[in-house]
Amino acid sequence: MKISPKVWRNGELIDWNDARVHVMSHVVHYGSSVFEGIRCYNTSQGSAVFRLTEHMQRLVNSAKIYRMDSPFSLEQFCEATLELIRQSGLDECYLRPVIFRGLDEENPAFGVYPLNNPVESYIAAWEWGKYLGEEAIEGGIDACVSSWTRITSNSLPAMAKAGANYMNSQLIKMEARLGGFAEGIALDDRGYVSEGSGENIFLVNNGKLVTPPLGAAILPGITRDSVIHIAREMGIEVIETTVQRSALYIADELFFTGTAAEISPIRSVDRITVGSGKRGEMTKRLQDEFFKIILAERPAPNGADWLTFVNDTGEKQTVTAI
């Protein structure tokens, strides 16, 4: 795995090994962090970050929900990301911006109350392959329904991509992996399908695309949003509605979406084969269009600007369908 030798910290680039926090930092004890996962792809027109602005807007929104007042603007976070990539030596990479509560070593503050602790901002980058395995994109994965319920929005806000939320995700992921599955699917507090440990989920039924609504304690995924736009452009009906657990077993196709997972088919749930037990036709069609967009081989739906080129000359990039 290749790692960027530099990390962006509070407005400056520092060495990777210097990106450290004090053991008594608030984030270590109370999980007070928000973060993003972003991918930069080596496209046909050079390195480009996928939906950078949307990711950074979600980061800023997450910080606002938790009253973390970062001195850096959306635009500054975006430019810092591009500069980090330029200095990384990587043509493509996974990016991890994180905002967290640290420790003022001269005037340390301890305890749950967070507002006396300084807010720190970092961005790191490394080369990361397919999250669920290279073979998952085509062959699909085996998943299970987790015994762990997804957090409720009035307990921890699902709209925020917060580090604390992922303690719940760790329980879901560990249970799945130890049980011989690649990923777990969580139900919400009402027993309806929510999402994976770190992915949104879609079902295909009778030519329609079905996914749990944003009110179902799910993260408003940016890849999820991308798939919805691509599907509607292709004339596929998209239905956002509650999904019963049993619907997973009888779906024609299932797949996960996420920045790390991209679009990954699910071939079985609880050892019940989904559809034909391999990647379905609609999943493949959506994958094909998604990968064309992220590799700058065709424009995004409705002319949206989903790619931010790392070495943009200032001239408008024109992407034509091929």
Instruction: Give the C-alpha separation, 84 to 204, whole Å.
Output: 39
Residue 204 Cα distances to 132, 231, 290, angstroms? 20, 11, 17
Helix, strand, coil content of the chain in percent (nearest 5):
30, 30, 45
Q: Which value, in Å, is the radius of gyration of the alpha carbons in the chain?
A: 20
Report which residue type is found at 121. S
Instruction: Give the C-alpha separation, 70 to 63, whole Å.
Output: 8
Instruction: Give the C-alpha separation, 178 to 76, whole Å.
Output: 41
Largest CA-CA distance found in the chain, in angstroms, rounded: 63
Provide the 3-class DSSP secondary structure of residue 224: helix
Is residue 292 part of the annotated active site? The answer reads no
Given 6, 161, 173, 292, which residue is catalytic?
161
The b-or-e profile of 11-33 (16+ CB within 10 A means b, else e) is eebeeeeeeeeeeebbbbebbbb
Instruction: Give the C-alpha separation, 22 to 106, whole Å.
Output: 12
Lookup: tokens for 203? 């079902």
Instruction: Give the C-alpha separation, 196 to 114, whole Å.
Output: 29
User: What sign results for the dihedral spanned by CA atoms 303, 40, 78, 115?
Assistant: positive
| Residue recorded with tokens 């739906």 | 301
Instruction: Give the C-alpha separation, 267 to 49, whole Å.
Output: 30
Catalytic machinery residues: 161
